[in-house]
Amino acid sequence: MTKKRQEAVQTERTLVEQTAIEQPKANVKYKDTIFRMLFSEPEHLLSLYNAVTGKDYRDPDALNVVTLENAVYMGMKNDLAFVLEMGMYLYEHQSTYNPNIPLRDLFYIASEYQALADGKSLYSSGIQKIPTPKFLVFYNGLDHKVPDRMELRLSDAYENPVDEPDLELKVTMLNINAGHNEELMNSCHVLQEYARYVARVQKYVAEMPLDEAVERAVTECIREGILAEFLKKNRAEVVKVSIFEYDKEKEEKKLRKAEYEYGREQGREEGREEGREEGREEGRIEGERSGRTHLLTLISQMSAGEDADKVTQLTDPEVLEAMMKKYGIE
């Protein structure tokens, strides 16, 4: 490694150390997803980065992994953040389509930048340089309508859309299911094998109980050389996490249903007060939007604190009401 490159790497490591200080930590043990377990290995993560960007980095030591302490959703950490060449990259996987990812990423990156600037004056005449962010989601859910590639924008959530918003955040979502983004998958065999393992679990879940489906998928993948070493080394943890992940998917669907019902009821009430068809429709739309906002805010606040383990219980109306009251969300 050249002296210039060594200095650049050291600068990046300093940035990483700065982002790690004084982060609030909840007294909760969060589970890593299988995706995060796999790509926490620097060699695997560098291979994924090269496949996405078309670059050919060979030195894993040039890559500095950052832990986003607040990047927790539904009791699991599914993010991978790292600094390379003065860029900060946030990779995560999703098994369900979620249009609120840009807003969540805004919270995450703001927290990292705040930590990075800690102790520095932002009112001086010199500009405070920060790593350039890049947001990427790898999708492996069952929605066949999701294309190979799509872009999610923070501005899509704005109440009053404008052509050129003052604040924008773009997230690129890549479909990694079979038959999608084949060039990418062929360029990163770990990603390809991960997708094959997930597909195997999804297939067997439709035929047998969840725990049996996961055990069978793990056994077959080891036999067929799909993530074989990783699965043999981490079998017990992989089985436990895979079951938890699948249960999380079901809870996410329940939350979306609860969100819809909550918003629909608010809309009906507001519509009745208006007493007109136009009022009912406007009330329904506003109620659904308000319901989504309230639930997203509640989940974000709960995930960052002592109630993270109760997020999956929000489908229970009594729990939802109690948590709304506790966090002052009306």
- Residue 295: pLDDT band (50, 70, 90) is confident
pLDDT of residue 16: 44
- Residue 309: pLDDT band (50, 70, 90) is low
- Show the 3-state SS of 173-185: EEECCCCCCHHHH
pLDDT of residue 265: 56
Quick one: how many helices (H) and strands (E) in the chain? 11, 8
pLDDT of residue 117: 81
CA 8, CA 261: separation in Å to the nearest integer?
52
- The pair of structure tokens assigned to 275 is 């007493």
Cβ-contact 260, 47 below 8 angstroms = no
Residue 6 confidence (pLDDT) above 90: no
Q: Which tops the pLDDT comparison, 321 or 150?
A: 150
Ranges assigned E (strand) in 4-145: 31-32, 64-66, 76-77, 79-84, 87-94, 132-139
pLDDT of residue 215: 96
Q: Which tops the pLDDT comparison, 291 or 153?
A: 153
CA 169, CA 78: separation in Å to the nearest integer?
19
Residue 170 confidence (pLDDT) above 60: yes
DSSP character for 275? T
Place of tokens 């997708």: 195
Q: What is the mean pLDDT of residues 170-182?
A: 95
Q: What is the mean pLDDT of residues 192-220?
A: 94
Cβ-contact 7, 62 below 8 angstroms = no
Place of tokens 């998958």: 185
CA-based nearest residue to 182, from 197, 43, 174: 174
76 strand-pairing partners: 31, 73
CA 139, CA 148: separation in Å to the nearest integer?
9
Q: Which residues contact 83 (CB under 8 A, 6 or more apart)?
A: 12, 15, 16, 63, 64, 66, 89, 131
Determine what percent of the chain is predicted with pLDDT higher than 90.
Answer: 39
Helix (H, G, I), strand (E, B) or coil at 166: coil
pLDDT tens for each residue of 213-223: 999 999 999 99
Q: What is the mean pLDDT of residues 58-66?
A: 83
Q: What is the mean pLDDT of the chain?
A: 78
Residue 13 confidence (pLDDT) above 60: no
Q: What is the mean pLDDT of residues 53-65?
A: 87
Helix (H, G, I), strand (E, B) or coil at 73: strand
138 strand-pairing partners: 93, 174
Q: Where are the domains of the chain?
A: 3-153+167-187, 193-233, 254-326
pLDDT of residue 4: 52
pLDDT of residue 225: 97
Cβ-contact 146, 89 below 8 angstroms = no
Angle of CA points 302, 307, 309, to nearest 5°: 105
pLDDT of residue 144: 85
pLDDT of residue 7: 53
CA 91, CA 44: separation in Å to the nearest integer?
13
pLDDT of residue 173: 97
Q: What is the mean pLDDT of residues 61-68?
A: 75
Residue 22 confidence (pLDDT) above 50: no
Cβ-contact 111, 70 below 8 angstroms = yes
Q: Which tops the pLDDT comparison, 305 or 41?
A: 41
CA 326, CA 321: separation in Å to the nearest integer?
9
CA 181, CA 208: separation in Å to the nearest integer?
30
- Residue 136: pLDDT band (50, 70, 90) is very high
pTM: 0.69
Cβ-contact 87, 53 below 8 angstroms = no
CA 160, CA 167: separation in Å to the nearest integer?
13
pLDDT of residue 304: 63
Which residue type occupies 191?
A: L
Q: Which tops the pLDDT comparison, 249 or 49?
A: 49
pLDDT of residue 286: 61
